[in-house]
Amino acid sequence: MNAGRQNLVGLDRQELERLVQSLGKAPYRSRQLYHALYCRREREVSALTVLDRNFREALAARFEISYPSLQGEFISKDDSARYLLCLQDNTSIETVFMPEEDRITLCLSSQVGCAVDCRFCFTALLGLQRNLSAGEVLGQVLAVAKARAIPPGSRLNLVFMGMGEPLLNLAQVMKAVRILADPEGFGIPLRRITISTSGIVPRMGELAHDPRRPKLAVSLNASSEEQRSELMPINRKYPLREVLRACRDYPLRPRERLTFEYVLLDGFNDSDADARRVAELLQGMRAKINLIPYNPGAELPYRASPLERVLAFQQILAERRIPAYIRISRGQDIGAACGQLRLAGMLKGEG
Ligand code: SAH
Ligand code: SF4
């Protein structure tokens, strides 16, 4: 990484066009550059042999291709892996790699830390340090693809369920999503990209009107206003009823469903009555719900629901025609499971 050079990663089609123009080159060169950066994932300006040598040299003098650097790799017994990535200002984020039979899912961060302050979440303990740039969002995909030797063209699913609240950094997240979904870019279809939100109502409305929106998942986590406000203080600003209204107003494509996430907390939000209330809240929506086993930690006040509770909860929802899936938590042994991203070393003073 060279502080004097600008990173090409993160620049979109228009920005590359302007750059190419400023170097006095023909516009089609910007399309070649875009394709080489994101579709072929070239790692060095000198490797961009589709461009003539003179152009490569002019580019290399002012620009570079740089990814976040790998600070740590923690591989789980179940083959998932957690990557600690170091950004240019020495802050760190985490990205999780989850291989499945026919695809790979990457869990991406959208911010360094998070300001939303949910009581059950490790990321909340960090507070918000800053937003990620579009280049840093893309950098996570590029850095993990490089670490795992994932060839271009492999089937990837992306979920913004790592650190941060993506809707509080929507412009940069969507800039990255457009490059990720572009067939000339990463070529990952929008239906394989999911943004998860704690329910930032105005931004949900904004996303609803974007023709290039990815899928939406909403962290419900409670069955009443009061309960949700206790878990997620953001509920006082954007109450559950408004979140649900924004969900009902959210335009879905054919066969698309909204996803709700529900972290089950022992004795807090996991009773039969909670399940019945959740079914009522979601009645009539084209939605499914992922029941997430809670990942406990000494710094957090809750306990995980026992498995029989999780199953009973699922059953009550199923009886009311709400498809409910128990999300097998992967990478628990390496602190990679949902909501567990917390830069463990840093918080424990090891890093
Ligand atoms: N900020 C966004 C996306 C990141 S959090 C959001 O809140 O949706 C991704 C998911 O992890 C959320 O559904 C959240 O409810 C869940 N989560 C947070 N802490 C958790 C924990 N300790 N155990 C299990 N899931 C957790
Ligand atoms: Fe932020 Fe999501 Fe964690 Fe809440 S659950 S603190 S919104 S990362």
- 338 is a catalytic site residue: yes
Q: Would you call 254 exposed, middle or buried from its count of C-beta atoms within 10 A (0-12, 13-18, 19+)? A: exposed
> In this structure, what token pair is assigned to residue 266?
């022992």
DSSP-assigned letter for residue 306: P
Side-chain half-sphere CA neighbours of 157 within 13 A: 14
Instruction: Name the residue with the closest Cα to ligand 2, atom 4.
Output: 118
> In this structure, what token pair is assigned to residue 5?
């050079």
- 44 is a catalytic site residue: no
Task: Match 């999911």 to its residue by tokens.
Answer: 194
Give per-residue burial for 301-330: e unless 16+ CB within 10 Å, then b: ebebbeeebbebbbebbeeeebebeeeebb
Q: Would you call 242 exposed, middle or buried from its count of C-beta atoms within 10 A (0-12, 13-18, 19+)? A: middle
Which residue of the set 94, 136, 165, 261 is catalytic? 94
φ, ψ dihedrals at 322, nearest 5°: -105, 110
What letter represents residue 337's amino acid?
Answer: A
Q: Is any atom of ligand 2 closer than 6 Å to the C-beta of 124?
A: yes
* Contact in structure between 38 and 179 (CB atoms under 8 Å): yes
Find the distance separating the first CA and the last CA of the chain, reported in whole Å: 22
> In this structure, what token pair is assigned to residue 269?
């939000």
pLDDT tens, position by position, for the chain (351 residues)? Answer: 555 899 999 999 999 999 999 999 999 999 999 999 999 999 999 999 989 999 999 999 999 999 999 999 999 888 899 999 999 999 999 999 999 888 999 999 999 999 999 999 999 999 999 999 999 999 999 999 999 999 988 999 999 999 999 999 999 999 999 999 999 999 999 999 999 999 999 999 999 999 999 999 999 999 999 999 999 999 999 999 999 999 999 999 999 999 999 999 999 999 999 999 999 999 999 999 999 999 888 888 999 999 999 999 999 999 999 999 998 767 777 766 655 665 544 544 333
Expressed in angstroms and rounded, the spacing between residue 226 Cα and the centre of ligand 1 is 19
Q: Which of 214, 212, 176 is nearest to 197 (CA)?
A: 214
> In this structure, what token pair is assigned to residue 298?
């000494």
Report CA-CA distances (Å) from 339 to 35, 114, 224, 256, 294: 34, 11, 22, 25, 8
> In this structure, what token pair is assigned to residue 35?
């394709």
Query: What's the whole-model pTM score?
Result: 0.94
Expressed in angstroms and rounded, the spacing between residue 343 Cα and the centre of ligand 1 is 15
Expressed in angstroms and rounded, the spacing between residue 161 Cα and the centre of ligand 1 is 7
Strand ranges in the chain using DSSP code E only, listed in sequence order: 6-7, 63-64, 69-75, 81-86, 92-99, 104-107, 111-113, 128-131, 156-160, 193-197, 215-219, 258-264, 287-293, 324-326
- Helix or strand or coil: residue 156? strand
Return the bridge partners of 263, or none: 292
Q: Tell me the C-alpha distance between 48 and 50, whole Å.
A: 5
φ, ψ dihedrals at 67, nearest 5°: -115, 160
DSSP-assigned letter for residue 110: S
